[in-house]
């Protein structure tokens, strides 16, 4: 255990925080254990569903964490970008290419839609950055934040006009069926989600960790001025970050639309907030943190919604936000985030 440092007041605070954090973790662990013993099969079932949602959250959360990492902006519009991507996917598959059942033509459309929707998300996100956020890069923090909220409303409006004001049902083209592992039923959709989602995460990690543009991104995140002096095109790098964040949200939109089959114009708000919570839980700015946080949130939400001893689905949102608040109070740096002392 690390030693506490600082003035007596700070030490007291740190001690209180640690006690709080440990007791909350214990309560969480006890809750999971009780449920596991109560009905192991149901537990596995809802855990898999939760992890599946967690993967979707991860794809969205990456967009938040990338953008926050590089320009310290909570991009409120990101969730709505995801919503627009879901609507785009529905139109692409069902209306434009007229695929409504699971056959080779449908799968082919699904794959081409994956590329199209990723491009769509990237283009929209870059446009938003170019038209609004770039102009406000040096403005006081309140300004871009309020702009992002406004952008979210704007995208909401586009979604409202495009999708209609009521939820819309769409046919899915991915194979439907179940696989049983013991007593536990796993839907094909779940498997497909992991088959598409995990390579995307690995590809993103490769781009950020190994390529030259990824290096430029990390350099810009650390210090824009110094990066510019080293010959990095800061504007281009930030645009690139928005592009890959948008592409991830686009992919998430397609996967969501195909797995749930319903789109709604206000979908982005809820999922965006959950995804943001995931990013904060894992430590904002940290890529794997976002993924871990998202899987955890998905798991907790899934368990809360589906298990006998829990608050139940109608408290789903409150549980997620309570996690957000607890994390921000006890460990603002997140699970995997590094503690940074606020420099002036």
- Rank residues 200 and 296 by Cβ distance to another protein and give the closer one: 296
Binding residue for another protein, selected from 137, 185, 215, 218, defined by CB under 8 A = 137
CB of 320 to another protein, least distance (A): 8
Among 89, 152, 220, 258, binds another protein (CB under 8 A): 152
Pick 115 or 157: Cβ nearer another protein: 157
Q: Looking at the chain, which runs of residues are DSSP E strands?
A: 168-169, 178-181, 184-187, 262-263
Out of 147, 237, 278, 301, the only residue in the binding site for another protein (CB under 8 A) is: 147
Q: Is the Cβ of residue 48 or residue 234 nearer to another protein in the bound state? A: 234
Does residue number 344 form part of the binding site for another protein (CB under 8 A)? Answer: yes
Does residue 309 bind another protein (CB under 8 A)? no
Q: Which residues, other chains included, contact 102 with Cβ-Cβ below 8 Å and sequence gap of 6+?
A: 172, 173, 174, 175, 176
- Check binding of 6 to another protein (CB under 8 A): no
- Please select the residue that binds another protein; options are 7, 314, 340, 341, rule is CB under 8 A: 314
Please tell me the distance from the alpha carbon of residue 187 to that of residue 259, in angstroms, as a whole number.
Answer: 10
Least separation, in Å, of the C-beta of 314 and another protein? 5
Non-local (6+) Cβ contacts of 142 within 8 A are: none
> Using CA atoms, how far apart are residues 200 and 247, in angstroms rounded to an integer?
10
In the complex, the smallest distance separating the C-beta of residue 333 from another protein, rounded to whole angstroms, is: 11
Dihedral of CA 107/190/319/24: which sign? Answer: negative
Q: Judged by CB under 8 A, does residue 226 bind another protein?
A: no
DSSP letters, 263-302, are E-TTHHHHHHHHHHHHHHHH-TT-HHHHHHHHHHHHHHHH
Task: Kindly list the distances between the CA atom of residue 159 and the CA atoms of 168, 242, 281, in Å, as whole numbers in the listed order.
Answer: 12, 20, 29
Does 310 engage in binding with another protein (CB under 8 A)?
no
The single-letter DSSP state of residue 313 is: G
- State yes or no: residue 165 binds another protein (CB under 8 A): yes
Q: Which residues, 249 to 278, sit near another protein by CB under 8 A?
A: 269, 273, 276
Count of positions on this chain that bind another protein (CB under 8 A): 47
Residues with Cβ within 8 Å of 277's Cβ and at least 6 positions away in sequence, in order, are 293, 297, 320, 321, 323, 324, 327
What is the DSSP annotation of 193-253?
HHHHHHHHHHHHHHHHHHSHHHHHHHHHHH-HHHHHHTT--HHHHHHHHHHHHHHHHHHHH
Listed ranges 1-9, 43-51, 249-257, 323-331: which one lies at the site for another protein (CB under 8 A): 323-331
Beta bridge partners of 192: none
Tell me if 117 contacts another protein by CB under 8 A.
no
| 119 forms part of the interface with another protein (CB under 8 A) | no
Looking at 6, 38, 332, 338, which residue binds another protein (CB under 8 A)? 332
Question: Which span sits near another protein by CB under 8 A: 94-102, 129-137, 176-184, 206-214?
Answer: 129-137
Does residue 195 belong to the site contacting another protein (CB under 8 A)? no
Residues that bind another protein (CB under 8 A): 72-74, 132, 135-147, 149-157, 160-161, 165, 225, 269, 273, 276, 280, 314-315, 317-318, 321-322, 324-325, 328-329, 332, 342, 344
């Amino acid at each position: 255990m690390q030693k506490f440092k600082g003035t007596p007041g700070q030490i007291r605070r740190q001690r209180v925080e640690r006690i709080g954090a440990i007791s909350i973790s214990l309560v969480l662990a006890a809750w999971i254990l009780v449920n596991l013993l109560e009905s192991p099969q149901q537990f596995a079932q809802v855990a898999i569903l939760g992890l599946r949602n967690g993967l979707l959250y991860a794809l969205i959360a990456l967009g938040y964490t990338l953008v926050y990492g590089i320009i310290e902006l909570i991009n409120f519009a990101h969730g709505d970008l995801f919503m627009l991507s879901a609507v785009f996917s529905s139109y692409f598959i069902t209306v434009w290419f007229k695929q409504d059942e699971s056959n080779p033509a449908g799968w082919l459309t699904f794959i081409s839609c994956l590329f199209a929707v990723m491009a769509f998300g990237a283009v929209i996100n870059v446009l938003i950055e170019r038209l609004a956020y770039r102009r406000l890069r040096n403005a006081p923090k309140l300004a871009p934040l309020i702009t992002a909220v406004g952008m979210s409303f704007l995208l909401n409006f586009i979604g409202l006009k495009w999708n209609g004001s009521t939820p819309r049902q769409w046919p899915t083209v991915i194979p439907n069926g179940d696989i049983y592992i013991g007593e536990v039923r796993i839907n094909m959709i779940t498997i497909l989600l992991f088959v598409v989602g995990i390579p995307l995460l690995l590809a993103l990690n490769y781009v950020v960790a190994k390529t030259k543009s990824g290096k430029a991104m990390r350099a810009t995140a650390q210090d824009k001025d110094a990066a510019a002096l080293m010959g990095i095109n800061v504007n281009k790098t930030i645009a690139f970050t928005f592009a890959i964040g948008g592409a991830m949200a686009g992919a998430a939109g397609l996967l969501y639309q195909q797995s749930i089959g319903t789109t709604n114009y206000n979908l982005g708000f809820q999922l965006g907030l959950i995804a943001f919570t995931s990013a904060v839980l894992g430590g904002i700015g940290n890529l794997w943190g976002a993924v871990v946080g998202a899987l955890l949130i998905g798991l907790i939400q899934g368990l809360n919604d589906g298990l006998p001893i829990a608050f139940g689905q109608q408290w789903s949102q409150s549980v997620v936000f309570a996690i957000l608040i607890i994390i921000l109070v006890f460990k603002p740096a997140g699970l995997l985030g590094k503690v940074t002392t606020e420099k002036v």
